[in-house]
Amino acid sequence: MATDAYQQGKLAYQNNYPMSGCSYPVDSTLRAEWMRGWNEARNADPATGGSGERSGMMGDARKASHIDERHVRQS
């Protein structure tokens, strides 16, 4: 049975809302349901090709967030 939190998570993903934006308390059942909805929407998104990774801004942001990590490792 899907909860409101699950549906909210799906809608959040579909509207480009980041997973980190979930406002339910950590370790709560509602947060787990929200995350489940968000992840299922991501995995069903044809733009991810089943990989869960979107091209475009979200994917670029993830890549950009690791630029400094690569630089530190090479130093």
DSSP assignments along the chain, one per residue: ---HHHHHHHHHHHTT--GGG--SPTT-HHHHHHHHHHHHHHHH-GGGTTTT--SSHHHHHHHHTTHHHHHHHH-
pLDDT single digits (tens) 4-58 = 999 999 999 999 999 999 999 999 999 999 999 999 999 999 887 655 565 554 5
* 69-73 mean pLDDT: 47
Rounded distance between C-alpha atoms, residue 43 and residue 25, angstroms:
24
Q: Is the pTM of this model over 0.85?
A: no
